């Protein structure tokens, strides 16, 4: 620690006395320097205000303002200042009784160099102790602030992994200065494809860039915490209600497209399940990771909401506690035959390696059957529909050899996966049908839009736009426009209504814009179309 020289101010109405004090001891040797002298209290206050002394040595009797009043004023302005009173023998008891100001030392006149030196040594020790304490506290505060970001990330990482006790969450939020108040929360996982790393950039650098840009573009709007974990960027977002998740999905979808354009990386955002409190945010995180894995079906470079891709009326069941089965369950959900076969063969291989007796092997094999049975039940399917020619698996499985068991499990898993795929297809078709029904019923409403339809269907814009175009072969806006134009055509040919009236009937508030769209569709204005197609 660097040596600090403390500043001393001498105050006495007799200049000779101050000169004697100044020259009687070696101030530098004791760690002090005299920075000023004053012959009365008023002048001393002026000097003290400018120089901020650490120690003031003052006489009691002085004109204008005595030493006692000066001590009070100095203490008020600077509680940490050290006061040394110079007093005659006849004033000593008076000074001790009159001054209730934590005076550091009393020095009797005439000033003795040895006594004054001892006093200054004690004052120096007192100042050093105080300085050490302040420095220690300051260092601790500085260390805490420097470590705060690491502490925050460690806490948030533990939170999404479900490793924080429920009763401790609020305490840690306060200690680590994290503001997540809800009322609802949703976890988002941003995954950057390692196959599309921009030139002159590594995967970690791309992840850091994604985190920085996500903080700038998403953090404030969603009052979120954004950090990196296991190579991905994770966002815990606040939602006003569960319905906000569609808007969050669209915001993340926009960010993925922005990242591809400006950062050059292909980003997939997995949107997890909405939870009512942070105690269950780990469930949201796991479902967000699962949503990311669906990029093999729905494509990377976009956001994928786990709530959108689950078939209507079904809940995706990832049994987190069954770690050995998770790879198979995930492969079943994704529906890639090679992945399902590999997951089954790996699982059976582990079973063979770990089972020490035939009984253990059979018991574990039946456990696998039980897990698949429960998986079907959790996803509203009948296990019996997928077991093929095996009438009673619990009797047949113990009689199967390794190869037969492996092939049968692969058959069951592929069959379950196919039903899930069909359910998703049915769900998509239902979604498209419902959207077309809304258009059929509400096309005359000029406020009908993509946002309105998605809100009614309870899905995000990005997901709906993607599946509608894939299933219908055109964008939703194109479909809506064509439908309105078809209805307009009927009115033009079958009624005598004017163009502006027809525009209102088919959802256009602006007749000029209606004519522009009609001409773009049919190559001529509504009036000309009527005249050419209604001639007798």
Q: Are residues 196 and 81 in the same domain?
A: no
Residue 342 is predicted with a pLDDT of: 92
Q: Are residues 124 and 28 in the same domain?
A: yes
Residue 1 is predicted with a pLDDT of: 46
- Residue 105 forms part of a structural domain: yes
Q: Are residues 130 and 184 in the same domain?
A: no
- CATH code of 12's domain: 3.40.50.2300
Number of domains in the chain: 2
Last residue of a domain, one of 79, 109, 134: 134
Rounded to whole angstroms, the Cα distance separating 449 from 13 reads 89
- Residue 508 forms part of a structural domain: no
- Residue 419 forms part of a structural domain: no
- Residue 54 forms part of a structural domain: yes
Q: Are residues 121 and 187 in the same domain?
A: no
C-beta separation of 68 from 87 below 8 A: no
Residue 416 is predicted with a pLDDT of: 92
Residue 147 is predicted with a pLDDT of: 78
Residue 536 is predicted with a pLDDT of: 47
Rounded to whole angstroms, the Cα distance separating 515 from 503 reads 8
Report the SS3 class of residue 87: strand
- Residue 464 forms part of a structural domain: no
Question: 482 to each of 35, 355, 478, 485, 521, how far by Cα in Å?
Answer: 90, 64, 6, 5, 8
Q: Are residues 10 and 100 in the same domain?
A: yes
Taking the whole predicted model, whether its pTM rises above 0.75 is answered as no
Last residue of a domain, one of 134, 167, 198: 134
Q: Are residues 107 and 33 in the same domain?
A: yes
Q: Are residues 125 and 185 in the same domain?
A: no
- CATH code of 215's domain: 3.30.70.270
Q: Point out the residues of the chain with pLDDT beneath 70.
A: 1-3, 89-102, 135-141, 143-145, 296-297, 310-324, 356-358, 535-536
Residue 316 is predicted with a pLDDT of: 41
Residue 141 is predicted with a pLDDT of: 63
Q: What are the tens digits of pLDDT across the range 377-428?
A: 888 889 999 999 888 888 888 888 778 889 999 999 999 999 888 887 787 8
Last residue of a domain, one of 78, 101, 134: 134
- Residue 117 forms part of a structural domain: yes
- Residue 98 forms part of a structural domain: yes
Q: Are residues 184 and 279 in the same domain?
A: yes
Q: What are the tens digits of pLDDT across the range 59-100?
A: 888 888 888 888 888 988 888 899 988 877 566 566 665 555
Rounded to whole angstroms, the Cα distance separating 446 from 514 reads 11
Residue 63 is predicted with a pLDDT of: 83
C-beta separation of 206 from 258 below 8 A: no
Provide the domain limits for residue 226.
179-307
- Residue 372 forms part of a structural domain: no
């Amino acid at each position: 620690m660097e040596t600090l020289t403390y500043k001393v101010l001498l105050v006495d109405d007799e200049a000779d006395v101050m000169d004697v004090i100044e020259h009687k001891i070696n101030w530098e040797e004791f760690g002090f320097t005299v920075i000023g002298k004053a012959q009365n209290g008023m002048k001393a206050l002026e000097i003290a205000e400018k120089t901020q002394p650490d120690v003031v040595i003052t006489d009691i009797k002085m004109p204008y303002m005595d030493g006692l009043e000066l001590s009070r004023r100095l203490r008020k302005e600077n509680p940490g200042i050290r006061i040394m009173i110079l007093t005659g023998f006849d004033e000593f008891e008076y000074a001790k009784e009159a001054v209730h100001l934590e005076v550091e030392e009393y020095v009797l006149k005439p000033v003795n160099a040895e006594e004054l030196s001892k006093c200054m040594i004690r004052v120096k020790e007192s100042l050093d102790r105080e300085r050490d304490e302040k420095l220690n506290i300051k260092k601790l505060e500085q260390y805490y602030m420097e470590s705060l970001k690491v502490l925050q990330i460690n806490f948030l990482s533990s939170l999404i992994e479900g490793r924080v006790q429920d009763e401790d969450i609020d305490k840690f939020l306060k200690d680590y200065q994290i503001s997540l108040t809800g009322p609802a929360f949703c976890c988002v996982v941003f995954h950057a494809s390692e196959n599309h790393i921009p030139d002159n950039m590594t995967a970690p650098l791309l992840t850091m860039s994604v985190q920085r840009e996500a903080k700038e573009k998403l953090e404030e709007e969603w009052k979120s915490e954004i950090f990196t974990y296991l190579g991905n960027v994770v966002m815990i977002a606040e939602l006003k209600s569960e319905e906000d998740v569609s808007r969050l999905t669209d915001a993340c979808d926009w960010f993925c497209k922005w990242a591809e354009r400006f950062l050059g990386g292909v980003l997939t955002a997995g949107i997890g399940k909405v939870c009512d409190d942070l105690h269950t945010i780990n469930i949201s995180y796991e479902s967000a990771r699962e949503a990311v894995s669906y990029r093999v079906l729905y494509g990377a470079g976009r956001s994928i909401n786990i709530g959108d891709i689950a078939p209507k009326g079904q809940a995706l069941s990832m049994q987190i506690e069954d770690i050995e089965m998770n790879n198979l369950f995930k492969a079943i959900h994704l529906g890639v035959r090679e992945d399902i076969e590999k997951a089954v063969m790996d699982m059976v291989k582990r079973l063979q390696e770990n089972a020490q007796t035939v009984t253990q092997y059979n018991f574990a094999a039946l456990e696998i059957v039980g897990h698949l049975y429960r998986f079907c039940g959790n996803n509203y399917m009948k296990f019996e529909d997928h077991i093929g020619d095996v009438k009673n698996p619990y009797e047949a499985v113990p009689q199967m050899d390794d190869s037969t068991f492996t092939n049968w499990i692969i058959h069951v898993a592929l069959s379950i996966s196919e039903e899930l795929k069909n359910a998703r297809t049915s769900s998509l078709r239902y979604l498209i049908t419902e959207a077309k029904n809304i258009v059929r019923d509400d096309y005359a409403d000029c406020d009908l839009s993509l946002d309105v339809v998605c809100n009614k269907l309870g899905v995000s814009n990005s997901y709906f736009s993607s599946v509608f175009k894939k299933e219908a072969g055109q964008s939703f806006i194109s479909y809506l426009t064509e439908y309105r134009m078809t209805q307009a055509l009927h009115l033009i040919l079958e009624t005598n209504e004017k163009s502006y009236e027809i525009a209102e009937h088919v959802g256009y508030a602006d007749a000029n814009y209606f004519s522009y769209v009609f001409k773009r569709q049919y190559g001529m204005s509504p009036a000309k179309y009527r005249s050419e197609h209604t001639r007798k």
